[in-house]
Structure 1
Amino acid sequence: MIRNIHSAIDLAPAYDLIIVGAGPSGLAAAVEASAHGITVLLADENESPGGQIYRAVDRASNADLARMGPDYTAGRTLIKRFQAADLSYARRATVWSVGADEETGDGAHGLEVGISLGGIARPIAAHRVILATGALERPFPFPGWTMPGVMSAGAAQILMKSSGLVPSGRTILAGTGPLLYLLASQLLRAGVSVIAVVDTTPVENWRFALPHVLGFAASPYALKGLKLLWEVHRRTRVIRGATAVEAVGSGQFSALRVLRGNRSRDIPGDLLLLHQGIAPNLNLALAAGCDYVWDERLAAFRPAVDICGASSVPGVSIAGDAAGIVGAVASAHQGELAGLTAALDLHRISQGVYEQRRNELARKLARALRGRSFIEHRFRPAKTCRVPEDDGTIVCRCEEITAGKLREVAALGVPGPNQMKAFTRCGMGPCQGRLCGLTAVELLAQCRGVAPGELGYYRLRPPIKPVTLGELAALPHTEAAIIAVAGFVERAADSPQDH
C-alpha cells in the first residue's frame, strides 16, 4: 500500500528514487521501480493521481466515464496498480528544484530535490530522479485571445474532469490536433451547445503525412480517430482550412472571425476554446541542466534523452510527454523503462533480468508509438498560428508584451531569448515562460532568419515555481538549501577585502 505524505516534515531525508509527476509515465515508473525493492517517493501537484490525461478518473462516476471515453477509463487500471505499490506519495506537493547534492559530494546521494508540501519546504536527497512532468498546451496567440470568454481547451477539460463543470452557452472550438476533436466529442456528449469546430490545420500537411499513412492505418489510432471525426462531424459544424482567426467582442468574447483565403465570416458565440497541440514541459528539466534540442517535426524544444529516458545530467531521467509527445500508452511504457533502469543502476536487478524486461518493454513501446509520425505531420500547427503576424497581439500574457514590441527588440540585434527577456520582461512573469516561450523564440528566429535551435530557449533557474517566504524560512540553513533557491552562495571569506 502507498504511504500518503501530507507535510514536508514527514518526508524522509533521502530516497533511492524521486519521481516528479503522477501522470501515466510517473505512475508506471513508480510501480516498476518499487517492484524491485527501491524506496520511491512520487511527488505531484494535483489532488489525486492520473495527471491531465487520467485526471480524477479514480472518483469519476459511470456517467463521467461514458462521456470521457474508454481511453480515459483505462487509467483506472494503472492507478489501482499504483495504489497497491509499496512507495511514498506526496500529493499537492510542489517540486521547485532538482540539482546536485552539494552537501554529500561523495556520490552517496548525488541529487537533491526541493519540495514544498503543507506550507513547508525541504531539500530531499536522492540517488535517482525521474521527471514525468508531462506536456503543456502550445500558445495560440492571435488578436483577442486574452479577452474574457476565451480559454484553452485543456483548461476546459480540467474543469470537466475535476469538477464536472461544462459550458452553458454557445461554445466554439478552434485550433488543430486530436485533442480538439476529443474535447468537442466529450462536450457534445455532455449536452453542451458546440456550434462550430474551426480547424486551422494547414491543408499542405497532408503532403508530409501521406508517407506515414500505412503505419497509422496499422495503429490503434486509426479506428479511434475515424470514429471521433465521424461523431463530431455528425453532431456539429466543422470548418476546415481556416488560415487566421480573431476573437471579436467589446470587453467580452462575442464572436470568432474566421479567415479562409480572402473570405471571412463571423461566428457568434459565448465561449471560445483554443488548442494548437501540446509541447513538452521543459522547465524543471532545463533548470536541472539537462541538454535539449529543437524538434522540427514537433515545432518545439524537447530534452535530449536515450531510449530509456536518461538525460545529459547523471542520475536524471525524463519520461513520457515531458521527453517528447508520445501519448498515454507510450508514456506509461517509457516510465516503466526509466523505473527499470533506475533499479539496474542501483544494483537491485541483474543485467540479465534487466535486458529481458527492457526488450519486452521496448517492443510494447514500439507498438504504442506506431502511427505517431503520421499524427505529428498531419497536425503540425501552422506557422501563422505559432507566430502572430499582427504586431498588436499579446505574446506574454503575464507582462502584456506584444509581438510588435518583441520585433522592435529583435531589430536591435539581441542574440537570443534571454537577452530579449532582459529588454522586455517577456518570460519573467509567474508562468516563467510556459505560455510565451515557444512563441518568443520562434518570433525572434523569424526576425533573424535562423532556426529556433540556433537561438536556444530561456535560461531557467530554480526555484521554477513560486515559493513563499514562510517556506523559505522553514528550509534548513545549509549551503545546499541556499544554492537550491538562489543558485549560488556568497562566502564572505572569499571577498576581495578579506585578502
Structure 2
Amino acid sequence: MTRVLIVGAGPAGIRCAQTLVEAGLHPIVVDEGQRAGGQIYRRPPEGFSRTAAQLYGSEAAKASALHGLFDQMVAQGQVSYLPGRSVVALGPGVAHVLGDAQEEVPFDRLVLATGATDRLAPVPGWQAGGVYSLGGAQIALKAQGVALGQRIVLAGSGPLLTLLGVQLRKAGADVAAVLDTASLGMQARGAAGMTLARPLVMARGLMMRGRLGRVFHAGARLDRIESGPNGAEALQWTNAGGKARRIACDTVVLGWHLLADTTLAELAGAQLGWNAVFHQWLPQADELGRAGEALYLAGDGMRILGADAADLSGRAAGIACLQDLGLAHPDPKPILRKSRRMTRFANAMARSFPWPAEAVRRLPDDAVLCRCEGIKAGELRANLPLSGPEANRAKSLSRVGMGRCQGRYCQLAGAEVIAAASGRAVDQVGRLRAQPPVRPVPIGRWIKEAPKAD
C-alpha cells in the first residue's frame, strides 16, 4: 500500500487523513502535540476541568467534532498516529522524526500541514522577561488554564489580538489595554471585502471588539517596554492622536497575525515566492495544494487563511493525492469554491491589519532585533558594508537568525532593517534558507552507535 505521511494534526491534517481513510488508505500522522487539534483547537491534558465551550467559545462544536473524528480513526486502526514528535529533517522518501528517540519514517507521498507561528515585530525592550507572543499566551490559557501575568497589555495587530483579549478577560485576567497598531482607517479598508466574503465571521469579530470597550485602542504606536529586575514594568506608547501614554503592567503580549511555517516545505523541494498581501514568503502550490512531485501542502503552512480554510485545504490535499494515485476521490469543485471565498476574506483582512514595516525600519540602533542572540538593530546595520544587502550573508556576519528560533521571529524584521538601510524593497533582500534540523536536537538522540566489527 502507498505510504502517505501527514505532518501536523490540526484541522488540515485531520481532514486530509479523513479523506485518505475514506478512500481506503492508511496514512501516518506525525504531530508535535500530545493530542490532536492543532493550535486553534488545542486540547488540554486529560482530566482538565474547563469545558469545550469555555475553551473554544463559538467554535466548540467544530473543535469537539474534529477531535472525535480523529480519535475514532486512531481507535479503529485507520491511522497510525505518532504524537509528541517533530519532523526535524527530510531525506528522499524518509522523514527524520524526533520524540523520545530518533526515528526514520519512510513515505511515498508527503502532506505538510505544519501550520503557522506568531509573526513578531521587535519593540524596544521586548527582550525583557514577561514579554510573550500572542500564540504563547493563548497556549498557556488553553492548555494549562493560566493567564501569563497579573496585569496584561496586548499589542500588535489582527483578529487574534482581539480574540485573546476577550478570552483572557472571560477567564478573569486583568487586561489593561489592547493596542492595535493598525489605524481605524486601515481597518476600514478591508471591512467591505471581509463582510461580503464571510458576513457571520465579520459580525462575530465586531461583537468581540465591542466587548473590549475602552480597553481597545486602534492606531497605537509602540515606543518602548520598560523593565526592571523582575521583568516588564510598563509599556510606553503613543495614541492615534499623537499623545504619549504609559501603562503599568507586568506582562506584554505581542503579535502581528501569523507567519506560515514553510521550513519543511522548502526542505521538501517547494518553491517559495514573496507575497505582497501577506507580507511574507509563501510556498508555490496549485489550488489543491500540489507543491512538487508527491508533495502536498495544506493549512496555514501554505496560506494564512484560518481554521475553516485549513479544514478545506486538508480535504483538497487529500483529493490531490488520490487523483495522482489514480484512485476514486470526491469532486474538488465545491471545496475550491469555498476556498476562494476564504482567500478573498483573508486578503481583505491582511490589508486591514498590515505588518508594521515602517516602524520596524525605524528601529533605534539600541533596540534588540534578535532576541535569541541578543543582536541589536545597530549591529546588523554596522555589518552591511561587509555583508551587502542579502539576508543570508548578513546572517553569517551578524548572527541575526542563528539562535534557537532559526530566524522564525527575527528574519522578517531583519530583512526590513536591511532593506531600509540599502534602499531596497524587502523582497529583494531575500529570505533565510531553511536547513535541518528545523528544531534544536539533543545530540545524544541523533547519534547512532556504529555496528560492532566481527
Instruction: State TM-score, norm by structure 2.
Output: 0.92
What is the CA–CA distance in structure 2 between the aligned matches of 1:209 and 1:377, rounded to whole Å?
A: 6
Question: Which residue does the alignment assign to 1:438?
Answer: 412
Q: Deviations over 1:377-426 (max 9, x none)?
A: 11112224444521111111111111111111224352411101111121
What is the CA–CA distance in structure 2 between the aligned matches of 1:20 and 1:388, rounded to whole Å?
A: 38
Whether the aligned pair in 2 keeps the contact of 1:45 and 1:91 (CA below 8 Å) is: yes
Q: What is the aligned counterpart of 2:250 among 270, 273, 277?
A: 270
Q: Deviations over 1:118-156 (max 9, x none)?
A: 22x233221111111111111220111110121112111
Q: What is the aligned counterpart of 2:100 among 118, 131, 137?
A: 118
Question: Which residue does the alignment assign to 1:193?
Answer: 174
Question: Which residue does the alignment assign to 2:282?
Answer: 302
Counterparts in 2 of 1:462 and 1:65: CA distance versus 1, 3 Å: same
Question: Which residue does the alignment assign to 2:29?
Answer: 42
What is the CA–CA distance in structure 1 between the aligned matches of 2:45 and 2:22, rounded to whole Å?
A: 22
Q: Secondary structure at the match of 1:381?
A: coil
* 1:448 correspondence with 2:448: no
What is the CA–CA distance in structure 2 between the aligned matches of 1:72 and 1:93, rounded to whole Å?
A: 26
Give 1:331's aligned amino acid: A
What is the CA–CA distance in structure 2 between the aligned matches of 1:17 and 1:385, rounded to whole Å?
A: 44
Counterparts in 2 of 1:412 and 1:203: CA distance versus 1, 3 Å: farther
Give 2:95's aligned amino acid: V
Give 2:293's aligned amino acid: P
What is the CA–CA distance in structure 1 between the aligned matches of 2:128 and 2:277, rounded to whole Å?
A: 31
Question: Which residue does the alignment assign to 1:94?
Answer: 86
Counterparts in 2 of 1:162 and 1:126: CA distance versus 1, 3 Å: same
Give 1:305's aligned amino acid: A
Q: What is the CA distance between 1:294 and its match in structure 2?
A: 1.0
Whether the aligned pair in 2 keeps the contact of 1:200 and 1:382 (CA below 8 Å) is: yes
Question: Which residue does the alignment assign to 1:489?
Answer: none
* 1:52 correspondence with 2:34: no
* 1:425 correspondence with 2:402: no
Alignment length, in residue pairs? Answer: 444
Give 2:176's aligned amino acid: I
What is the CA–CA distance in structure 2 between the aligned matches of 1:452 and 1:289, rounded to whole Å?
A: 23
Counterparts in 2 of 1:422 and 1:379: CA distance versus 1, 3 Å: same
Q: What is the aligned counterpart of 2:6 among 14, 19, 39?
A: 19
Whether the aligned pair in 1 keeps the contact of 2:274 and 2:427 (CA below 8 Å) is: yes
Whether the aligned pair in 2 keeps the contact of 1:21 and 1:134 (CA below 8 Å) is: yes
Q: Secondary structure at the match of 1:74?
A: helix
What is the CA–CA distance in structure 1 between the aligned matches of 2:15 and 2:351, rounded to whole Å?
A: 28
Q: What is the CA distance between 1:462 and its match in structure 2?
A: 1.7
What is the CA–CA distance in structure 2 between the aligned matches of 1:149 and 1:211, rounded to whole Å?
A: 37
* 1:316 correspondence with 2:316: no
Question: Which residue does the alignment assign to 1:486?
Answer: none
Counterparts in 2 of 1:389 and 1:469: CA distance versus 1, 3 Å: closer
Q: What is the CA distance between 1:204 and its match in structure 2?
A: 4.7
* 1:160 correspondence with 2:141: yes
Whether the aligned pair in 2 keeps the contact of 1:287 and 1:464 (CA below 8 Å) is: no
- Give the share of equivalent positions with the same residue, in percent: 30
Which aligned pairs between 1:207-246 and structure 2 lie closer than 5 A? 208-209=189-190, 212=193, 215-216=196-197, 218-233=198-213, 237-246=215-224
Give 2:313's aligned amino acid: Q
Question: Which residue does the alignment assign to 1:4?
Answer: none
Q: What is the CA distance between 1:44 and its match in structure 2?
A: 0.7
Q: What is the CA distance between 1:209 and its match in structure 2?
A: 2.4
What is the CA–CA distance in structure 2 between the aligned matches of 1:386 and 1:296, rounded to whole Å?
A: 17
What is the CA–CA distance in structure 1 between the aligned matches of 2:450 and 2:34, rounded to whole Å?
A: 27
Give 1:70's aligned amino acid: S
Q: Deviations over 1:405-452 (max 9, x none)?
A: 111122435241110111112111121111111111222122222222
* 1:403 correspondence with 2:377: yes
Whether the aligned pair in 1 keeps the contact of 2:150 and 2:174 (CA below 8 Å) is: yes
Whether the aligned pair in 1 keeps the contact of 2:140 and 2:148 (CA below 8 Å) is: no
Give 2:226's aligned amino acid: V
What is the CA–CA distance in structure 1 between the aligned matches of 2:382 and 2:331, rounded to whole Å?
A: 54
Whether the aligned pair in 1 keeps the contact of 2:44 and 2:144 (CA below 8 Å) is: no
Q: What is the CA distance between 1:473 and its match in structure 2?
A: 2.5
Counterparts in 2 of 1:316 and 1:475: CA distance versus 1, 3 Å: farther
Question: Which residue does the alignment assign to 2:58?
Answer: 70
Counterparts in 2 of 1:386 and 1:315: CA distance versus 1, 3 Å: farther
Question: Which residue does the alignment assign to 2:319?
Answer: 340
Give 1:161's aligned amino acid: K
What is the CA–CA distance in structure 1 between the aligned matches of 2:257 and 2:286, rounded to whole Å?
A: 24
Counterparts in 2 of 1:303 and 1:240: CA distance versus 1, 3 Å: same
Q: What is the CA distance between 1:317 and its match in structure 2?
A: 1.3
Q: What is the CA distance between 1:158 and its match in structure 2?
A: 0.4
Q: What is the CA distance between 1:370 and its match in structure 2?
A: 4.8
> C-alpha root-mean-square deviation of aligned residues, in Å?
2.2
Whether the aligned pair in 2 keeps the contact of 1:221 and 1:371 (CA below 8 Å) is: no
Counterparts in 2 of 1:63 and 1:49: CA distance versus 1, 3 Å: closer
Unaligned 5+ residue runs, structure 1?
A: 1-13, 102-110, 478-499
Whether the aligned pair in 1 keeps the contact of 2:52 and 2:64 (CA below 8 Å) is: no
Q: What is the CA distance between 1:239 and its match in structure 2?
A: 2.2
Question: Which residue does the alignment assign to 1:490?
Answer: none
Give 2:3's aligned amino acid: D
Give 2:83's aligned amino acid: R
Give 1:308's aligned amino acid: L
Question: Which residue does the alignment assign to 2:156?
Answer: 175
Q: What is the CA distance between 1:75 and its match in structure 2?
A: 1.3
What is the CA–CA distance in structure 2 between the aligned matches of 1:204 and 1:156, rounded to whole Å?
A: 28
* 1:380 correspondence with 2:372: no
Q: Secondary structure at the match of 2:223?
A: strand
